[in-house]
Amino acid sequence: MPRDIEPRLLRAFTAAAEELHFTRAAARLYTAQQALSRDIRRLEGELGTELFVRTTRQVALTADGERLLPYAQRVLAAQDDLLAACAAGARPLLIDLNTEGLVSGRVLARARQLAPLCELMARFGSGLTGAAAGIRAGRLDASFGYVGGLRPESRSGLSHQLVRYEPMAVVLPEDHPLAARAEVPLAALAGETVYAGAGNPDTAEWTELARRLFAGRSVDIAPPAPMAAGAGEFGRVMAKHRTPVLAVVNFPEMPDTVLRPLVDPVPLSPLSLVWRTGADHPGVRALRDAAAELSREEGWLERPPGNWLPGHCS
């Protein structure tokens, strides 16, 4: 008895068993009658039994053929269900946007317009490092973030597309001395301790970006602390500890805080769309097209004079 039977052989047998006519069964499967007969003979050889009694006038099932038929029908129905579930566009995609209100949300909204038949579902995690592990494991389909801050093993099996050079900012308590400024020069942060997700394994790429930005500027990165989830908790933690938070200029408004862009130089966070290499799904294509369109329309890849990027300045 073989351990595996090709579904094609079961389809040939089932069609012939249901039609009890090899010519009609072959036409139903869009194949030649000789090919159908060959597949049935091969199946009989693998099973070690005859499945049909053939005469010049009729075709009938043997007792073994009658016993096999319901099992073959169930196997083929399950295969059809599996193929339908995995058909391009049928499976919903799960996209991690990190935080509501960011550029990633605009890309997703445009992608939904480009692919209205696809179900593109948002979730809100805490960083690209964690999302990358989810993408590689098949728990997520796409995310956004600073790819250059990922470890090599975290980038394995992933593809990415640059979406925007995001100007960076700092979130401050509303009564912080720097809050009175419209912009905060990087030099003004000297002596400050700034929170950048240190200790959170899901946001290691953001902590690495902060480390590169603050190197040689006398700015300390805050020690590990639990991530404040939600606006209310963010405001409570900020009021209690008063630690500035590294962010981007479109970071959502938080209670009792102000968001100030960083300047002199303008630090830029390279934001990329990230997906599993080889993923061929219309939703992924829509995300890539949406990111490219918005980047072009909004000038997201233009860099202001006197900017800073991880690894070099210009």
Contact status, residue 268 vs residue 165, Cβ threshold 8 Å = yes
pLDDT-based confidence at residue 86 (cuts at 50, 70, 90): low
| DSSP-assigned beta bridge partners for residue 313 | 308
Q: Does residue 194 sit within a domain?
A: yes
Tokens coding 244: 């500035």
Q: Do 71 and 120 reside in the same domain of the chain? A: no
Q: Do 196 and 293 reside in the same domain of the chain? A: yes
Q: Do 115 and 237 reside in the same domain of the chain? A: yes
Arithmetic mean of pLDDT, 179-201: 91
Q: Please determine, for residue 314, whether its predicted confidence score (pLDDT) is greater than 50.
A: no
pLDDT-based confidence at residue 199 (cuts at 50, 70, 90): confident
Q: Do 124 and 176 reside in the same domain of the chain? A: yes
DSSP string, 215-275: TTTT-EEPPP-----SHHHHHHHHHHH---EEEETTPPP-TTEEEEEEESSEEEEEEEEEE
Q: Do 32 and 165 reside in the same domain of the chain? A: no
Q: Does residue 80 sit within a domain?
A: yes
Going from the C-alpha of 143 to that of each of 217, 229, 235, 301, 309, the distances in angstroms are 31, 19, 26, 19, 21
Q: Give per-residue pLDDT as tens, 301-310.
A: 999 998 999 9
| DSSP-assigned beta bridge partners for residue 60 | 53
Q: Does residue 196 sit within a domain?
A: yes
Which of 49, 67, 86 is the last residue in one of the domains? Answer: 86
CATH label of the domain that carries residue 169: 3.40.190.290
Q: Please determine, for residue 312, whether its predicted confidence score (pLDDT) is greater than 60.
A: no
Tokens coding 224: 């590990």
What single-letter DSSP state applies at residue 174? T
Looking at the chain, the whole-number percentage of residues with pLDDT higher than 90 is 64
Mean pLDDT check: name the lowest of 3-7, 69-73, 95-99: 3-7
Q: Does residue 314 sit within a domain?
A: no
Q: Do 73 and 101 reside in the same domain of the chain? A: no
Domain extent at residue 108: 93-308
pLDDT of residue 232: 75
Going from the C-alpha of 75 to that of each of 4, 5, 69, 70, 294, the distances in angstroms are 12, 10, 10, 9, 46
User: What is the total count of domains within the chain?
Assistant: 2
The mean pLDDT value of the chain amounts to 89
CA distance 14 to 69: 6
Q: Do 236 and 116 reside in the same domain of the chain? A: yes
pLDDT-based confidence at residue 1 (cuts at 50, 70, 90): low
Q: Does residue 111 sit within a domain?
A: yes
Q: Does residue 19 sit within a domain?
A: yes
pLDDT of residue 2: 59
Mean pLDDT check: name the lowest of 102-106, 197-201, 293-297: 197-201
Cis peptide leading into 265, omega within 30 of 0? yes
Q: Do 61 and 208 reside in the same domain of the chain? A: no
pLDDT-based confidence at residue 154 (cuts at 50, 70, 90): confident
The more confidently predicted of residues 69 and 280 is 69
Contact status, residue 276 vs residue 134, Cβ threshold 8 Å = no
Going from the C-alpha of 86 to that of each of 34, 132, 142, 280, 283, the distances in angstroms are 32, 22, 17, 11, 13
pLDDT of residue 252: 84
CATH label of the domain that carries residue 49: 1.10.10.10
Q: Does residue 151 sit within a domain?
A: yes
Q: Please determine, for residue 256, whether its predicted confidence score (pLDDT) is greater than 80.
A: yes
pLDDT of residue 50: 94
| DSSP-assigned beta bridge partners for residue 176 | none
Which of 63, 86, 109 is the last residue in one of the domains? Answer: 86
Q: Does residue 313 sit within a domain?
A: no
pLDDT of residue 99: 83
Tokens coding 296: 């072009």
Q: Do 243 and 142 reside in the same domain of the chain? A: yes
Q: Do 227 and 268 reside in the same domain of the chain? A: yes
pTM of the model: 0.71
Contact status, residue 181 vs residue 260, Cβ threshold 8 Å = yes
The more confidently predicted of residues 110 and 3 is 110
pLDDT of residue 241: 73
Gap between the terminal Cα atoms of the chain: 70
CA distance 35 to 32: 5
Q: Do 82 and 97 reside in the same domain of the chain? A: no
Which of 36, 51, 86 is the last residue in one of the domains? Answer: 86
Q: Please determine, for residue 264, whether its predicted confidence score (pLDDT) is greater than 90.
A: yes
Q: Do 284 and 142 reside in the same domain of the chain? A: yes
pLDDT of residue 253: 84
Q: Please determine, for residue 313, whether its predicted confidence score (pLDDT) is greater than 50.
A: no
Alpha helices in the chain (DSSP H): 7-19, 22-28, 33-47, 63-86, 103-114, 128-137, 152-155, 204-214, 231-241, 282-298
Arithmetic mean of pLDDT, 267-287: 92
Mean pLDDT check: name the lowest of 49-63, 66-80, 107-121, 238-252: 238-252
